[in-house]
Amino acid sequence: MAYPDDLLSSGEHVVIHRHPHWKVLIFPVFWLLVVVALGTYLAGLVADQSWASIALVALAVVGAVLVLWLTVAPLVRWRTTHFTLTSDRVMYREGVFKRTGLDIPLARVNSVRFEHSFVDRLLGCGTLVIESASDEPLEFDDIPSVEKVHTMLYREVNDNPGDDYHPGVVDGRA
C-alpha cells in the first residue's frame, strides 16, 4: 500500500515506506492459537453438563475479548504504524485512536546508524537510530531491511540539495 500523497508537500516523493517487521505479529498469532485451543478444549469439557449453554456463551465472550485484546489490537497497531522516508524528511506515524507522528527534515539529520541482534539479522530487521538536532537519538525498532533503509536514508541526506553540507565544496566553489 502506497503512502497517501496528500500528506506530502509539492515535489516530495516517497523513497521507502515500511510497516514494522512481521516478527511483531508472532506473539499475537501465538495467543490466537492458545485462546482457540483452550476455548475448544474447555467447550468440550462442559458440553455434556446441564449448564453447558451458559458456560459456552461465557467461553465465547471471554474468548472473543481475549482475541480482540491479544491478537486484533496488535494487528491493527502494526497496520497503522508507518515508517516513511521521503525526498525531504523522515516520517513516523503510529496509533489508531490516539495518532502520533514525528517528522525529521533531512537537513536536520546528523548521523544514521542501525543495530540488530543475531535473531534480527536472521529475520532481516533491526533498529534504526537517527541522530538529529534534537537532544537524544531517535530509535525506530523492528524496521524491515534495516540496512537497506539505513543506506537509502544516508543517500537521501547526502544528496539533499537543501542541506548546508556539501563535501568537496569550499566557499561555494568546487
Q: Residue-wise pLDDT tens for the chain (174 aa)? A: 455 667 788 888 889 999 999 999 999 999 999 999 999 999 999 988 889 899 999 999 999 999 999 999 999 999 999 999 999 999 999 998 899 999 999 988 989 999 999 999 999 999 999 998 777 899 999 999 999 999 999 898 887 655 554 444 444 444
Fold of 14-20+82-159: PH-domain like (2.30.29)
pLDDT at 22: 95
C-alpha 70/C-alpha 32 separation (Å) is 7
Grid cell at residue 162: 537543501
**Counting every residue, how long is the chain?**
174
One-letter amino acid of 56: L
Q: Phi and psi dihedrals of 72, rounded to 5?
A: -70, -45
pLDDT at 168: 44
**What DSSP string runs through 50-80?**
TTHHHHHHHHHHHHHHHHIIIIIHHHHHHHT
pLDDT at 160: 63
Q: In a 10 Å sphere around its CB, with 0-12 CB exposed, 13-18 middle and 19+ buried, how is residue 41 labelled?
A: exposed
pLDDT at 162: 55
Sheet strands (E) in the chain = 14-18, 82-86, 89-94, 100-105, 109-115, 125-132, 138-144
pLDDT at 20: 96
Domain ranges of the chain: 14-20+82-159, 25-77
pLDDT at 96: 86
